[in-house]
Chains A and B, each alone.
Chain A
Amino acid sequence: MNPAMNSAVSAGMAPVATPWFFYVLAGLAVISGVLVITRRNAVHSALALIVTLLAVTGLYLMLYAPFVAAVQIFVYAGGIMLLFLFVIMLVNIERSSKERRFNRIWPVGLAAACALLALFVSAFAKGKALFPDRMMPLPESSNTQQIATKLYGEAGRMGEYTFAFEIASLLLLVAILGAVIMTKKKI
């Protein structure tokens, strides 16, 4: 491999994570996130939420976490948002947009937002102490494999998170069964 090729390879890896990309994606996520709660039309909100999710997918990719990004597209943007739209489309939009909001929970929302802001500020202020200085350069080519090793373990040993993973699956199973039993009165 000649030096030019080497520089091309390193140049190819580096520019993906430029600050410019981050600001575009983060700005997109924030703007569409605001649109989600300000649009009166529920379908517009859902579309804005999809844009938010896709922007966050881009951020995951910038963090060299392609598997999480793919799952984000597959599960959230593809599956869950489709079901959201499915339900929203059956709602009478014109009536619901004229209806006055009856749940006055904005004090709770404000408190939650303040708490989150405080968390962000403290994380930003003490970030140096909380997080490692630089991320370990994970090889992109074995990202999925590493996640699998953490979840399922390798060579007969249990993985770091096998137990938590199984518990989560059990919870999901219970939720599915609950949904089936609630919708189908007679099984």
Chain B
Amino acid sequence: MPNFIMSYLNSKDAITPGAAGSQFWALIYVFIIFAGVSVAVMAMNWLERKALAHFQVRLGPMRVGPHGLLQPFADALKLMLKEDIIPAEADQFVFWVAPLIGLLAAFIVYTVIPFGPSQAVSDMNIGILFMLGVSSLGVLGIVVAGWASNSHYPLIGALRSSAQMVSYEVAMGLAVVSAILMTSLNEKGTGTLSMIGIVQAQQQQGVWFIFKFFPLGLLAFVIFAIAMIAETNRAPFDMAEAESELTAGYHTEYSGLRWSLFMLAEYAAMIAVSSIAVALWLGGWMRPFPNLLHAPAWDFIFSLFPGLTFLGLAAIAFIGTARMPAHSFFKIQRIGLAVFAALLGFLALLLLVIAVAGRSADTSLAARFNEGIDYVYWFVLKVAVFMYLFIWYRATWPRYRFDQLMKIGWKVMLPISLGVLVVTAIVGVIVS
């Protein structure tokens, strides 16, 4: 094996490829993350349609593949083949570049998301600032798209979106600052802005920041959780694309592939902000009770979780296969679902084998790989909970009126987050 591949793997201390200066592995990580996020967006698309349908006592997509499992692929194919219309009166270049701005902003953020202590592309000293700053660039794509369309609804959508983002960013930033403040409560008295550092601070202090200084951490978390829905333009704060008022808001004039880029950017940004929340308040990659249950036996039990999760999914798919109507019309669907279930079962088996093998393995590489799967699993699981919450919110709450939205942003969220910040600082000084 060439040296530039092995030198990173052979390093004794687990560090990110960015910190090790290994461009090759950084690229590999980037590809893995890009593929993972794309798959997650597709899965999220299916899950959202399915879950929303069940919330509303419908079936949702059922025709394309068993239980509509192939619907995202069909959608993607349709969007790629669809005619891509640029309105004659639109600003051609800006119209063309707007979706790319949003997409770039949404994906650049992933370089610093800490999937594990060494499972990130890079660990920046300014991690959280970088994340907030770059994800705030995403609104430029929306604003510019609304303007370039040269049409009324998109322009109103863009104006609403920019006003909303600017307002909620303030409360969001203050909530984040109060979490960063908590990282400085150690012997040295200095905190950190690095995403990995923030999670490690929670590990050292032995508490997720959501439970720290109860209820201060919880309050900051709730403010962030509300502001992040507004930041990503999701229901009930989806004023920028309120379809009952603005047709489709900022992307009314978009069609085909360009429209799908907006969707991809929106979902990627949702995953990104959820990761911020997970890393700052929910212990990032840490499994439940890492300090209390730290015996090797517990390590092994928790390392079985990824395999067991896939086993559960496979079981659900098998039950679905068994419950398919016995009519010959469903034969192909039945075979397809059975193959899908078998695939999930195989993945589960693979993960279980890795967990068992990684336990007895002495070589640091296998143990590190096994550990890495654990870290990524717990991180992704926590993010997945947030993604489900996004769907749940959308199904549950009606859309806010725009003046109510502004009132909540400036007159409720901002004072509370300021108060939480001040009280956190005072309590922190008293404690240390």
CB-contacts of A49-72 with B (<8 A):
50, 66-67, 69-71
Assess the B133–A43 pair: CB atoms within 8 A: no
B143: which of A8, A11, A89 is its contact (CB, 8 Å)? A89
Q: Does A143 contact B (CB under 8 A)?
A: yes
In the complex formed, the residue of B with least CB distance to A85 is B143
Q: Does B10 contact A (CB under 8 A)?
A: yes
A70: which of B97, B130, B137, B165 is its contact (CB, 8 Å)? B130
B21: which of A13, A81, A89 is its contact (CB, 8 Å)? A13
Q: Does B139 contact A (CB under 8 A)?
A: yes
Assess the B166–A67 pair: CB atoms within 8 A: no
In the complex, what residues of B have CB within 8 A of residue A8's CB?
4, 7-8, 20-22
Q: Does B11 contact A (CB under 8 A)?
A: yes
For the complex, what is the distance from the CA of A82 to the CA of B137, rounded to whole Å?
9
Residue of A5, A142, A143, A145 ringed by the most chain B CB atoms within 10 A: A5
Assess the B143–A12 pair: CB atoms within 8 A: no
B147: which of A69, A70, A89 is its contact (CB, 8 Å)? A89
- What does the 1/0 interface line of B141-180 toward A look like (CB < 8 Å)? 0011011100000010011001101100100000000000
B133: which of A73, A86, A89 is its contact (CB, 8 Å)? A73
In the complex, what residues of A have CB within 8 A of residue B8's CB?
8
CB-contacts of B1-39 with A (<8 A):
3-4, 6-8, 10-12, 18-23
Per DSSP, chain B at the interface is helix
Q: Does B203 contact A (CB under 8 A)?
A: no
CB-contacts of A82-128 with B (<8 A):
82-83, 85-86, 89
Known A-B contacts A70-B126, A142-B125, A143-B125; the reply to A12 vs B147 at CB < 8 A is no
Known A-B contacts A4-B7, A70-B130; the reply to A82 vs B140 at CB < 8 A is yes
A86: which of B132, B137, B143, B148 is its contact (CB, 8 Å)? B143
Assess the B12–A1 pair: CB atoms within 8 A: yes
Q: How many residues of B contact A (CB 8 A)?
A: 45
Whole-angstrom distance from the CB of A157 to the nearest CB of chain B? Answer: 14
For the complex, what is the distance from the CA of A74 to the CA of B125, rounded to whole Å?
15
B165: which of A66, A82, A142, A145 is its contact (CB, 8 Å)? A82
Q: Does B94 contact A (CB under 8 A)?
A: yes
Q: Does B416 contact A (CB under 8 A)?
A: no
Whole-angstrom distance from the CB of A27 to the nearest CB of chain B? Answer: 19
For the complex, what is the distance from the CA of A110 to the CA of B300, rounded to whole Å?
72
Q: Does B134 contact A (CB under 8 A)?
A: yes
For the complex, what is the distance from the CA of A22 to the CA of B129, rounded to whole Å?
24
Assess the B136–A74 pair: CB atoms within 8 A: yes
Residue of B6, B155, B162 ringed by the most chain A CB atoms within 10 A: B162
Whole-angstrom distance from the CB of B330 to the nearest CB of chain A? Answer: 52
Assess the B10–A2 pair: CB atoms within 8 A: yes
Known A-B contacts A50-B140, A74-B136, A89-B158; the reply to A43 vs B125 at CB < 8 A is no
Q: How many residues of A contact B (CB 8 A)?
A: 37
For the complex, what is the distance from the CA of A140 to the CA of B134, rounded to whole Å?
20
For the complex, what is the distance from the CA of A79 to the CA of B18, rounded to whole Å?
28
Assess the B144–A144 pair: CB atoms within 8 A: no
A78: which of B4, B11, B136 is its contact (CB, 8 Å)? B136
A83: which of B7, B11, B20, B166 is its contact (CB, 8 Å)? B166
In the complex, what residues of B have CB within 8 A of residue A86's CB?
143, 159, 162-163
Known A-B contacts A67-B126, A85-B144, A89-B147; the reply to A79 vs B136 at CB < 8 A is yes
Assess the A81–B140 pair: CB atoms within 8 A: yes
Whole-angstrom distance from the CB of B160 to the nearest CB of chain A? Answer: 11
Q: Does A28 contact B (CB under 8 A)?
A: no
In the complex, what residues of A have CB within 8 A of residue B7's CB?
2, 4-5, 8
In the complex, what residues of A have CB within 8 A of residue B97's CB?
47
A82: which of B125, B126, B166 is its contact (CB, 8 Å)? B166
A144: which of B11, B126, B133 is its contact (CB, 8 Å)? B126
Assess the A141–B125 pair: CB atoms within 8 A: yes
Residue of B21, B143, B155 ringed by the most chain A CB atoms within 10 A: B21
In the complex, what residues of B have CB within 8 A of residue A143's CB?
125-126
In the complex formed, the residue of A with least CB distance to B19 is A12
In the complex, what residues of A have CB within 8 A of residue B91's CB?
41, 43
In the complex, what residues of A have CB within 8 A of residue B132's CB?
74
For the complex, what is the distance from the CA of A61 to the CA of B369, rounded to whole Å?
32
Assess the B140–A5 pair: CB atoms within 8 A: no
Q: Which 3 pairs of residues, A with B, have the shortest CB-CB distance? A: A12-B21, A74-B133, A73-B133
Show 7 A/B contacts (Cβ-Cβ < 8 Å), sorted by A. Answer: A2-B10, A5-B7, A43-B94, A47-B94, A82-B136, A85-B162, A86-B163
Binding site for B on A (CB under 8 A): 1-2, 4-5, 8-13, 41, 43-44, 47, 50, 66-67, 69-71, 73-74, 77-79, 81-83, 85-86, 89, 140-145
Known: A2-B7, A8-B7, A74-B132. 17 other contacts (CB 8 A): A5-B7, A12-B18, A12-B22, A43-B144, A44-B94, A70-B129, A70-B133, A77-B133, A77-B137, A78-B136, A81-B140, A82-B162, A85-B144, A86-B159, A89-B143, A89-B155, A144-B193
